[in-house]
Amino acid sequence: MKSKIWGKYFPTIEFLGNAALILVVTVGGMFVINEKISLGTLVAFNGYMWMIVWPMRLIGWLSNILSQANASAKKIEKIFNEIEEDFKGIELDRIHGSIEFKNVSFKYENEYVLKNINFKIDEGKTLAIMGPTGSGKSTLISLISRFYPIDEGEILIDGINVNDISLNSLRKNISIIFQDTFLFSESVKENIKYGKGNATDKEIINVCKEAQAHDFIMKLPEKYDTLIGERGLGLSGGQKQRLTIARGLLKNAPIIIFDDATSALDMDTEYELLESIYSKEKQNTKIIIAHRISAVKNADEIIFLENGEIVERGNHYELLEQKGKYFEIFKEQFKDFEDLIRDEVI
Ligand SMILES: Nc1ncnc2c1ncn2[C@@H]1O[C@H](COP(=O)(O)OP(=O)(O)OP(=O)(O)O)[C@@H](O)[C@H]1O
């Protein structure tokens, strides 16, 4: 309130000062022309006027600076509040990684986008999520990291409600790899290192092998030191996606989520990549959103979402037996294997 009043009056004071100066110079000039006062008197008078006007101008300038400082102070306060929020709640070290949804419903505005979602993934297991566009797949995974507060139900990680876990430690334990790739204008190695600042070269090479990126990196002019991005070498969509995946894997979080992150890869590369992700040696809990049957068939459980509801669930073979939506997609994607399907070999 105070600053609003200052902000209102200070520019007026500055304006009055400037107007008075112009008036004095104009009237004084006329007096000099008419020989009512000497030029020396006008110059001296003008000097005194400046001494009055200059502080008035400073007051106007000060008012601007003060309102800018006021706006900045509010922003700084907001950042401090967010940092404080990050550390509120239970600080967990490295979690085991079990995830449970209990009667979770969610809406962004008026309509429910997720309705009564229930599932449990034990630590180290894999859940795959399929469903048409807009069915709520990305929304479901964004709730695990608390990107939005939940309207109804509970999400538990290692049996603890995510609302009770500090945001900082919750997000430290989850790595989400998105479909959209973002690479900096830096070397391949530096781009991947964003996943873990102190990673060794060996760790970087290992995750690149896992992400099926090592072979193409070795063919680049400077291998891992090749500059990429806007100022460097252009890469294909699939190559960029593999680097983004390598970055996400490097964090080695107990929970890894792939949000349609393998869609730009050809089927064989996607299969190879996910095979190593599914491998039994991997202790991380995995959630994989994908559209190809080949990408989800090895998951421990597959859920099929439609209009925010789980309409089918089970492993690959159970879903084929249900002869529902999953089976329809399977038939569509494996047209060449119709004989095998008919003979119930697959
Ligand atoms: N931030 C948001 N605000 C309002 N509505 C949203 C928001 N994000 C998503 N939605 C809506 O929620 C619904 C579910 O979207 P979501 O992105 O979760 O679906 P999806 O299954 O991941 O789709 P896709 O396969 O296209 O990525 C859609 O109707 C979408 O328009």
Q: Please state the domain extents for the chain.
A: 2-86
Q: Report pTM.
A: 0.75
304 lines ligand 1 (CB under 6 A): no
Residue 51 Ramachandran class (φ > 0 left, ψ -120 to 50 alpha, else beta): alpha
- ipTM of this model? 0.97
Question: Reduced to 3 states, what is the DSSP secondary structure of residue 199?
Answer: coil
Q: Where in 162-244 does DSSP place strands (E)?
A: 174-178
- Could you tell me how many residues make up the chain? 346
> Is 259's C-beta closer than 6 angstroms to any atom of ligand 1?
no
* C-alpha of residue 139 to centroid of ligand 1, in Å: 6
Q: What is the DSSP letter of 284?
A: S
Could you tell me the distance, in angstroms and rounded to a whole number, from the CA of residue 274 to the centre of ligand 1? 25
Q: Using an 8 Å Cβ cutoff, are 249 and 195 in contact?
A: yes
Atom 25 (ligand 1) nearest CA: 133
**Which residues are bridge partners to 256 per DSSP?**
175, 286
Residue with tokens 């630590």: 123
Q: In what order do the strands lie in the sheet with 99-107?
A: 112-121, 99-107, 152-157, 160-161
> What's the 136 CA to ligand 1 centre distance in angstroms?
6
Ligand 1 atom with the shortest distance to the CA of 131 = 21
- Rounded to the nearest 5°, which phi and psi values hold at 95? -80, 170
Return d(Cα 103, Cα 120) in angstroms, integer: 11
β-pair partners for 114: 106
Q: Pairing mode, if any, of strands 99-107 and 152-157?
A: antiparallel
Ordered per-residue pLDDT tens for the chain, 346 residues: 444 555 566 667 777 777 877 887 787 777 777 777 777 777 777 777 777 777 777 887 888 888 889 888 888 887 777 666 667 889 998 999 999 999 999 999 889 999 999 999 999 999 999 999 999 999 999 999 999 988 799 999 999 999 999 998 999 999 999 988 888 889 999 999 987 889 999 999 999 999 999 999 999 999 999 998 765 567 888 999 999 999 999 999 999 999 999 888 888 888 888 888 887 667 899 999 999 998 999 999 999 999 999 999 999 999 999 999 999 999 988 876 655 555 555 5
Percentages of the chain per state (helix, strand, coil), in multiples of 5: 50, 20, 30
Integer Cα distance of 275 and 200 in angstroms: 24
Q: Which of 129, 133, 139, 140 to mutate to test the pocket of ligand 1 (most atoms within 8 A of CB)?
A: 139
110 touches ligand 1 (CB under 6 Å): no
**Residues in Cβ contact with 29 at an 8 Å cutoff, skipping those fewer than 6 apart:** 42
